[in-house]
């Protein structure tokens, strides 16, 4: 769902200088969350917009949303004031945090032409995945704030309803995906995401349609799988592609993905990235969210 910000709310937010945030470890401090929530709630139509956002992420058939913050980005730039407002919206959904102690709260995802093309900062197709797939407590939400799209016109975001894709598989295929046989990624210097989960099952919920679908297309090359297990994962990959939605993020667009429902990825950037100055290439900012324990799962 794409959520436009009402004009009267945009005008109020442009004039609202939220204070710098404080962190409690790698999590946004409770005092900052309360301050942001109090100040934002006083602006016209904010609570209505926040309710629409939460419904899009957790309501029936939901699982992702794009807040159209482009006018705010034009008015404020994409520096601290704008990022505080985006953080304030995120805090209406769950608790913002960084699982990477060496990175700030918002992590840059730029473009590096010499990196593995399939990585988030590469230039190729970034296949469907969930972030921190090999953690026992992955972030409940992953979010991406678009500072600059690909100036050459490539790199649409792709999303797919993971549970809907699983439901289209055979019972035998689902049984194979529930086996703890899959591996992907390293695990070090992380915070707030539990322990390493290795090997892990793809289907990790208490019953069908619940929990995480722990999938990344890259795990096929990293796991020692039986032919049947590998084929089950490939069938799921095909169903994810079959059910995908695709759209181009514009400057100021803020994508929030409920990882218990949807997987995400990106089409390849347009050819010729090496001709674009590094400072002009596609730039996203990533922020993760943890649903409070007393709020129940983000599903």
The predicted structure's pLDDT at residue 67? 98
Two tokens, residue 251: 């400057």
| DSSP type of residue 29 | P
Distances (CA, A) of 263 to 204, 255, 281, 284: 14, 12, 24, 17
Q: Which residues of the chain have pLDDT under 50?
A: none
Query: Apex CA 185: angle with CA 184 and CA 189, to 5°?
Result: 145
The predicted structure's pLDDT at residue 294? 53
Domains and CATH numbers, the chain: 2-291 (3.60.130.10)
Output phi, psi for 33, to 5 deg. -60, -45
Two tokens, residue 55: 């419904």
């Amino acid at each position: 769902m794409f959520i436009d910000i009402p004009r009267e709310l945009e005008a109020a937010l442009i004039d609202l200088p939220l204070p710098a945030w404080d962190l409690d470890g790698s999590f946004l401090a409770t005092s900052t969350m309360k301050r942001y929530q109090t100040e934002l709630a006083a602006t016209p139509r904010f609570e209505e917009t926040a309710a629409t956002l939460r419904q899009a992420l957790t309501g029936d058939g939901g699982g992702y949303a794009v807040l159209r913050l482009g006018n705010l980005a034009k008015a404020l730039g994409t520096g601290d004031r704008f990022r505080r407002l985006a953080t304030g919206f995120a805090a209406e959904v769950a608790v913002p945090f960084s699982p990477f102690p060496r990175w700030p709260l918002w992590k840059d995802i730029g473009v590096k032409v010499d990196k593995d093309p399939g990585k988030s900062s590469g230039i190729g197709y970034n296949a469907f995945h969930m972030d921190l797939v090999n953690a026992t407590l992955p972030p409940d939400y992953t979010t991406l704030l678009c500072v600059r799209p690909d100036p050459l016109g490539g790199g649409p975001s792709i999303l797919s309803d993971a549970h809907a894709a699983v439901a289209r598989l055979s019972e035998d295929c689902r049984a194979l995906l529930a086996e703890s046989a899959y591996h992907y990624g390293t695990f070090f210097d992380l915070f707030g995401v539990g322990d390493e989960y290795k090997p892990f099952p793809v289907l990790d919920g208490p019953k069908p349609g619940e929990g995480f679908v722990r999938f990344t297309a890259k795990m096929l090359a990293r796991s020692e799988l039986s032919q049947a297990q590998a084929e089950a994962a490939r069938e799921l990959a095909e169903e994810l592609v079959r059910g995908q939605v695709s759209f181009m993020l514009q400057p100021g667009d803020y994508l929030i993905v409920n990882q218990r429902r949807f997987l995400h990825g990106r089409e390849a950037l347009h050819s010729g990235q090496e001709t674009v100055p590094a400072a002009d290439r596609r730039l996203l900012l990533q922020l993760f969210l943890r649903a409070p324990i007393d709020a129940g799962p983000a599903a």
